[in-house]
Amino acid sequence: MSAPSVEGAATAPSAVAFARRGGVRLAFRTAGREDAPAAVPVPGFASHVDVLWDDAGPRAFHERLAARLRLVVYDRRGQGRSSAAAPPTVDADAADLGAILDAARLERAVVVGQSQGGAAAIAFAATAPERVAGLILVGTYARAASGDGYPHGPPREQLLAFAGAVADAWGDAALASAFAPSAADDPAFAAWWTRACRMALTPDAVRATLERRAHLDVRAHVAAVRVPALVAHRTGDGITPVEHGRWLADHIPGARLRELPAADHLWWLPEPSEVADLITDFTEEHSR
């Protein structure tokens, strides 16, 4: 058997380690060179660190990031291999992110919030700017529900109904068509999707997490962000419409907006290099 290439060794993930905050254990893995600029993605409402390098899932996406960055991925509390727990408040979620940076021995990093993970990323950037070299938001929002002066998104009652519908269909391949329309007909992806969903969260946890989403509102934190920021959003995203991203870019001082084609909500689809290269270029630019 031939020895692995240097690049292959660098992009392979570490074994799972755990950060601790109070009585909660937070599972994380690292990849890439220790001396490279660091990026820490905050996952959306479902994650499991054991499936992120699967061939049918986001392996190519994470390998592309780790080829040039020090990448730290983790499961939020209540997800995957982290401690079972109720969905965290935004402040607790942001404090957990700080614990991940501590455990990974990072003084500063570019923080990347995707989907529901964007709230914690925004809150952390607003309250701990000395630890945030830059903020990237992909397919996320300041508030999920319309109302209270925010015109985007469906009414809260509709989001609560959506939480129940997703919980009832959790792990079914049919649900993939909403989150990943470009890959939903691929049998390998559909099998990965089913496995990844069922490993990440139970149906009851899905319902609780998405019900929490219906009440999220981090507009006050958005107004306090003073770090370099990039907002990337798919123009056809059916889970989080692009108007949410446009609002963020308009309200974070100095933020750049990149609107991307396609309708996928999963950020590595349809082409893993597209968002990965945005993250890598931004991280290298703002970590000098």
Give the per-residue SS3 of 176-236.
HHHHCCCCCCCHHHHHHHHHHHHHHCCHHHHHHHHHHHHHCECHHHHHHCCCCEEEEEECC
- Asked if residue 2 belongs to a domain, the reply is no
- Asked if residue 5 belongs to a domain, the reply is no
pLDDT at 12 over 60: yes
**Per-residue confidence (pLDDT) for residue 25, from 0 to 100:** 98
pLDDT at 10 over 80: no
Percentage of the chain modeled with pLDDT above 70: 97
Count helices and strands (H / E) in the chain.
11, 8
- Asked if residue 12 belongs to a domain, the reply is no
**CATH number for the domain harbouring residue 208:** 3.40.50.1820
Question: Cβ distance 67 to 10 under 8 Å?
Answer: yes
Amino acid letter, 45: F
pLDDT at 47 over 90: yes
Total domains present in the chain = 1
- Asked if residue 3 belongs to a domain, the reply is no
pLDDT at 110 over 90: yes
**Per-residue confidence (pLDDT) for residue 9, from 0 to 100:** 56
User: Region 25-53: what's the mean pLDDT?
Assistant: 97
**Per-residue confidence (pLDDT) for residue 2, from 0 to 100:** 37
- Asked if residue 212 belongs to a domain, the reply is yes
pLDDT at 4 over 80: no
Question: Cβ distance 132 to 227 under 8 Å?
Answer: yes
User: Region 268-274: what's the mean pLDDT?
Assistant: 97
The pLDDT-based confidence of 198 (bands split at 50, 70, 90) is very high
Task: Give the Cα separation of 170 and 259 in Å (integer).
Answer: 29
Task: Give the Cα separation of 260 and 271 in Å (integer).
Answer: 11
Task: Give the Cα separation of 11 and 106 in Å (integer).
Answer: 18
Q: Return the half-sphere exposure (C-beta side, CA atoms, 13 A cut-off) of residue 105.
A: 5
Q: Beta strands of the chain (E only): which ranges?
A: 17-21, 24-31, 38-42, 70-74, 109-114, 132-138, 229-234, 256-260
What's the CA angle centered on 102, arms 140 and 45, to 5 degrees? 25
Quote the domain boundaries for residue 90. 18-286
pLDDT at 7 over 70: no
- Asked if residue 99 belongs to a domain, the reply is yes
Q: Which of 180, 134, 171 is nearest to 272 (CA)?
A: 180
- Asked if residue 242 belongs to a domain, the reply is yes
**Per-residue confidence (pLDDT) for residue 3, from 0 to 100:** 38
- The model carries a pTM of 0.95
- Asked if residue 86 belongs to a domain, the reply is yes
User: Region 201-223: what's the mean pLDDT?
Assistant: 96
